[in-house]
Structure formats: C-alpha cells, structure tokens
Chain A
Amino acid sequence: NAGVTQTPKFRVLKTGQSMTLLCAQDMNHEYMYWYRQDPGMGLRLIHYSVGEGTTAKGEVPDGYNVSRLKKQNFLLGLESAAPSQTSVYFCASRPSGGPSYNEQFFGPGTRLTVL
C-alpha cells in the first residue's frame, strides 16, 4: 500500500515551458487535492476533485489546469511556467466516509523551480 505518490520529485523548468505533475493514490479515495507551499504562506489550495471526472478551483487556480480521468490519478498541469510558480507542490487524497473521513493524506511533494 503505497498511499499517495507524486511524480516527479524534483524539476527545473525554464519560463514558458509546460509540464504535468502526476499524483496517484491506491486507497480508493474519492477526494483529491493539489496544494502549493511557499515560505511564510503555509499551504494554499490550487484545485481539487470530489470524484472521478470532476474538478473545481481552489484558492489560487490561475496558471494551472487539472484533470481526473481516473479515480486514482489527479494531474496538475502548468501550460506556460512562470518564476512565480516556483514552489513545493503537494497532492492529497481523502476518503468519502469511514474513520479517516476527516483526514487528508499527503504525498511527499514535488519541488519545482522555474528559471
């Protein structure tokens, strides 16, 4: 049981390049989330999904797109990277019921630098 995994772990991009971050969970969770963490800012919600085929905007969605074609995967895309998107990105998942209903399970993070 791997939990929540994120690919890649590190990435350096040049301004204007595009990339996709992959989040995968093997816990059959309905809810999935993408956050970014910046120094002095805590975690901020970018986009989230309440189930397969659904996505919704969070607090800071501009410059990002997401897709949830399969229940276990949640992809975060940067179409044209900017230096302001340099951050650590965390994915999380959460079940729709049961004893862990209140808990978001986080992945290990992806460190992205945009030059």
Chain B
Amino acid sequence: QKEVEQDPGPLSVPEGAIVSLNCTYSNSAFQYFMWYRQYSRKGPELLMYTYSSGNKEDGRFTAQVDKSSKYISLFIRDSQPSDSATYLCAMSTIQGAQKLVFGQGTRLTINP
C-alpha cells in the first residue's frame, strides 16, 4: 500500500462546477500538507499549503485537512478551463528538509 493514495482520474467536469479532489494517507506523522498543480509538460507549482488540521481558503481554492481520518481535500469553486491540469497532493513529516511524499496525481479537465 502506498503511503499516499490519490485517485488518478481522469476527472472531467463542465465549466463553473465545484471540483473536489482528495487524498488519503497512512502515516500519522505527516503534519504538512500541500497541493501542487502541474500543467502538461511543465513542472509542478505550489497551489496551497496547510499545516496540521483545518481549512484554508485562497480565492476559488479551499484546502481541508482531517488528520483524524487521514484525509485531505482540495475544492475548486467556479472552475475555469484554465484550471485543467494534474493536481498532486504532497505531504511531509517535518519541515526542515521537507522530504515530500506525493500522491499519484489527478488529471482534471474543465470543459467550456
């Protein structure tokens, strides 16, 4: 079993829909949780960062962490075609060296 599990999709939704992306993990020592966005043939870029449990909102994006369930989510409101990309969850136990463990990535397409 992988340490971090993420449904690879692909996921296709119409423009304007609310998108929910999820990851589960098995290592209870993870404390730092990130979502990276990766456009085709590009390197990943950080989208959201959260520490421990709770919610964090940034514009149309909301990240949720439920450490009791070992479950994290990324919500995208009012989705746009420009949101079409692969979304990768990532997490680490300590912040010093930040050795990230990534999920498999979910490929998302927003249809106009």
Contacts and interface: CB of A to CB of B under 8 A. Distances in A.
Interface of A: 4, 31, 33, 40-45, 48, 50, 56, 58-59, 90, 92, 94, 101-104, 106-109
B10 interface: no
A102 B42 contact: no
A42 B103 contact: yes
A94 B102 contact: no
B46 to A, nearest CB: 4
A88 to B, nearest CB: 9
Given A4-B43, A90-B44, A50 B97 contact: yes
B43 A41 contact: no
A103 B46 contact: yes
Interface residues of B, number: 25
16 contacts: A31-B97, A42-B88, A42-B104, A43-B88, A44-B102, A45-B99, A45-B100, A48-B99, A56-B97, A58-B99, A90-B44, A101-B95, A103-B49, A106-B45, A107-B43, A109-B42
A17 B105 CA distance: 31
Contacts of A48: 97, 99
A33 B99 CA distance: 9
A50 B97 CA distance: 6
Contact of B98 (A4, A56, A90, A94): A94
B79 interface: no
Given A42-B104, A106-B44, A108-B42, 15 more contacts: A40-B8, A41-B104, A42-B88, A42-B103, A42-B105, A43-B44, A43-B102, A45-B101, A56-B97, A58-B99, A59-B101, A102-B34, A107-B43, A108-B43, A109-B42
Contacts of A41: 104
A55 B46 CA distance: 24
Interface in B78-112: 88, 90, 95-105
A102 B97 contact: no
A102 B49 contact: yes
